[in-house]
């Protein structure tokens, strides 16, 4: 497949039971977009019927096209491809919470933890979006990490309204068909999905927030954060105990009420990492890989020296020396440019950026380069990279590495959450230029 209607196809992004999402290009204006094409699997088509599936698909597109809210994905175009299959077009957004926390199809496996301040930020935006949806009598019915996109500006957008209940109306299959996702779906939605209200979304949001804070799904008997982390007091326990009540009438009764309570929760000081509490003096620097590679996930773990969540197995105990425009790490023999690129750029433009630094002999050096994953991960010694001053209005925590992942993707490092991940080369990340500390 080379095109869908007037859009050129760059590659497939993902496939579900009902459709496939592609990364596409509108050639006339070089606009990159996401395209959702109705391509149901055979079993679903046999059970529901193609006519009904097309009605569901058009229903989703109309619902999304009507949105005018900053934390919701909107549909911009609707048409049929050369084979007569319907599709709709959305903004292309690189990140989603599922990828960021590393949640797999085995939901019981631990996921990455997001720091509490960020969880409150994301949670507030999710609840503001749900407040808008519920006011307009729309129940999403499938709030989960993969349906929460994260923009380059570090704000969230809820997507995938294929299961939404709009003004009491939805299209659905047989009574035995599950609406929602395991563990995130409240009890009443499993038994009678056509009669749920906004409180079902609030239950799912409670599961999502707990997952982000702890890396675990909430247990069936206890949700006590205060017993395992001193940052949280008993008000956090009360918040989750109420959010995750099985009976809807015992939960928060509106997204606005849940949002107000979330914003009132207080946090204790973060606990310092003890990983580098004792710094061993070494005369010789630790040598990190500097040459770029093209490596798949299965081989990357050993090469990057990371665990299953792609976090460093052993932190580097940095010995950082600050200068006016650079930071020298005596532990690794690397020189880091103090300021990252002013704006996020594509992978190709990341290399153009360092070429320009070398042409200008920035800070007296002509050997600047895009760092490897191993070099970027060395900045995670104590979980604090605030020694580098960046633009105060931008979340300068996502950086390109020089390492590739196949033809269309490259590795990047999320210093905010402390992991290496893969993104499309057209995604936008900042550049933290590095050079070797040698004459």
Of 3.40.50.1980, 3.40.50.10880, 1.10.510.10, 1.10.3720.10, the CATH number of 95-264 is 1.10.510.10
The mean of the pLDDT values for the chain is 88
**Alpha carbon 210 to chain centroid distance?**
16
Report the alpha-carbon distance of residue 22 to residue 38 in Å, rounded. 11
Report the alpha-carbon distance of residue 250 to residue 115 in Å, rounded. 28
Report the alpha-carbon distance of residue 209 to residue 9 in Å, rounded. 35
Q: What is the pLDDT of residues 225-241, one digit of tens each?
A: 888 888 899 999 999 99
Predicted confidence (pLDDT) at residue 277 exceeds the cutoff of 50? no
Instruction: Judge contact between 401 and 373, C-beta under 8 A.
Output: yes
**Alpha carbon 343 to chain centroid distance?**
19
Which range has highest mean pLDDT (273-287, 312-326, 380-394)?
312-326
User: How wide is the angle at C-alpha 28 spanned by C-alphas 24 and 29, nearest 5°?
Assistant: 80
Counting Cβ atoms within 10 Å, is residue 276 exposed (0-12), middle (13-18) or buried (19+)? middle
Domain 3-91 has CATH 3.40.50.1220: no
Q: What is the pLDDT of residue 42?
A: 83
Predicted confidence (pLDDT) at residue 166 exceeds the cutoff of 90? no
**Of 66-70, 110-114, 200-204, 394-398, the least confident:** 394-398
Number of H helices, E strands in the chain: 11, 18
Q: What is the pLDDT of residues 349-373, one digit of tens each?
A: 999 999 999 999 999 999 999 999 9
DSSP 301-342: HHHHTB-TTS-BSS-----EEE-SSEEEETTTTEEEESSPPS
Q: What is the pLDDT of residues 115-129, one digit of tens each?
A: 999 999 999 999 999
Q: What is the pLDDT of residue 170?
A: 62
**pLDDT band at residue 172 under the 50/70/90 scheme:** low
| Biggest alpha carbon–alpha carbon distance for the chain | 72
Q: How does strand 165-166 pair with strand 320-322?
A: unpaired
Q: What is the pLDDT of residue 48?
A: 79
CA torsion sign for 141, 144, 147, 149 is: positive
Predicted confidence (pLDDT) at residue 190 exceeds the cutoff of 80? yes
Element of type H or E holding 53 = helix 50-65
**pLDDT band at residue 224 under the 50/70/90 scheme:** confident
| More reliable by pLDDT, 167 or 271 | 167
CA torsion sign for 343, 417, 433, 305 is: negative
Predicted confidence (pLDDT) at residue 395 exceeds the cutoff of 70? no
**Alpha carbon 18 to chain centroid distance?**
23
Average pLDDT over residues 14-25: 86
Q: What is the pLDDT of residue 177?
A: 61
Six token digits for residue 95: 């990140």
Report the alpha-carbon distance of residue 76 to residue 157 in Å, rounded. 15
Predicted confidence (pLDDT) at residue 383 exceeds the cutoff of 90? no
Instruction: Judge contact between 179 and 189, C-beta under 8 A.
Output: yes
Predicted confidence (pLDDT) at residue 420 exceeds the cutoff of 50? yes
**pLDDT band at residue 278 under the 50/70/90 scheme:** very low
Helix (H/G/I), strand (E/B), else coil: 242: helix
Q: What is the pLDDT of residue 340?
A: 92
Q: Which residue do the tokens 């599936």 mark?
A: 53
**Of 62-76, 159-173, 340-354, the least confident:** 159-173
CA torsion sign for 72, 77, 78, 81 is: negative
Report the alpha-carbon distance of residue 97 to residue 82 in Å, rounded. 34
Average pLDDT over residues 337-350: 94
Eight-state DSSP code of residue 248: G
Predicted confidence (pLDDT) at residue 265 exceeds the cutoff of 80? yes
Residue 47 CB neighbours (<10 A): 15
Instruction: Judge contact between 336 and 425, C-beta under 8 A.
Output: no
**Of 27-36, 65-74, 204-213, 266-275, the least confident:** 266-275
Q: What is the pLDDT of residue 151?
A: 92
Predicted confidence (pLDDT) at residue 74 exceeds the cutoff of 90? yes
Average pLDDT over residues 277-290: 66
| More reliable by pLDDT, 403 or 109 | 403
Average pLDDT over residues 82-104: 93
Average pLDDT over residues 56-61: 88
| More reliable by pLDDT, 437 or 358 | 358
Six token digits for residue 199: 């409180």
Among the listed residues 89, 60, 85, 92, the one whose alpha carbon sits nearest the alpha carbon of residue 1: 85
Average pLDDT over residues 25-31: 91
Among the listed residues 306, 381, 309, the one whose alpha carbon sits nearest the alpha carbon of residue 103: 309
Fold type of domain 297-436: Mannose-Binding Protein A; Chain A (3.10.100)
Q: What is the pLDDT of residue 279?
A: 42
Domain boundaries, the chain: 3-91, 95-264, 297-436
Backbone angles phi, psi at 319, to 5 degrees: -125, 85
């Amino acid at each position: 497949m080379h095109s869908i209607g007037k859009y050129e196809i760059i590659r497939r992004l993902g496939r579900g039971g009902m459709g496939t999402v592609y990364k596409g290009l509108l050639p006339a204006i070089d606009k990159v977009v996401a395209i959702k094409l109705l391509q149901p699997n055979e079993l679903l088509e046999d059970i529901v019927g193609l006519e009904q599936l097309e009605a569901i698909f058009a229903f989703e597109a109309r619902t999304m096209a009507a949105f005018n809210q900053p934390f919701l994905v909107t549909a911009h175009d609707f048409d049929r491809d050369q084979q007569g299959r319907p599709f709709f077009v959305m903004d292309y957004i690189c990140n989603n919470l599922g990828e960021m926390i590393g949640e797999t199809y085995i939901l019981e496996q631990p996921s990455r933890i997001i720091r509490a301040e960020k969880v409150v930020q994301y949670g507030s935006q999710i609840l503001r979006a749900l407040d808008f949806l519920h006011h307009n009598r729309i129940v999403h019915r499938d709030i989960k990490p993969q349906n929460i996109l994260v923009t380059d500006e570090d704000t969230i957008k809820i997507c995938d309204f294929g299961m939404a209940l709009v003004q009491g109306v939805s299209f659905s299959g047989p009574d035995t068909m599950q609406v929602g996702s395991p563990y995130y779906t409240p009890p009443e939605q499993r038994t009678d999905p056509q009669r749920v209200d906004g409180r079902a979304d609030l239950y799912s949001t409670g599961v999502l927030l707990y997952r982000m804070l702890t890396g675990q799904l909430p247990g069936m008997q206890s949700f006590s954060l205060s017993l395992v982390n001193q940052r949280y007091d008993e008000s956090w326990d009360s918040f989750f105990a109420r959010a995750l009540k099985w009976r809807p009438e015992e939960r928060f009764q509106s997204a606005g009420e849940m949002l107000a309570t979330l914003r009132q929760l207080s946090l204790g000081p973060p606990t310092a990492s003890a990983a580098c509490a004792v710094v061993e003096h070494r005369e010789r620097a630790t040598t990190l890989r500097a040459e770029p590679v093209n490596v798949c996930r299965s081989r990357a773990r050993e090469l990057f020296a990371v665990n299953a969540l792609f976090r460093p197995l052993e932190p580097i105990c940095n010995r950082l020396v600050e200068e006016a425009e650079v930071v020298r790490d005596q532990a690794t023999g690397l020189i880091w440019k103090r300021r990252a690129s002013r704006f996020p750029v594509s992978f190709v433009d990341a290399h153009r950026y360092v070429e320009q630094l070398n042409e200008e002999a920035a800070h007296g050096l002509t050997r600047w380069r895009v760092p490897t994953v191993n070099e970027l991960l060395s900045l995670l010694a104590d979980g604090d990279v605030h020694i580098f001053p960046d633009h105060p209005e931008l979340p300068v925590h996502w950086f390109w590495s020089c390492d590739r992942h196949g033809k269309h993707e490259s590795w990047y490092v999320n210093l905010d959450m402390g992991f290496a991940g893969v993104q499309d080369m057209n995604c936008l990340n900042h550049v933290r230029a590095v050079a070797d500390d040698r004459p």
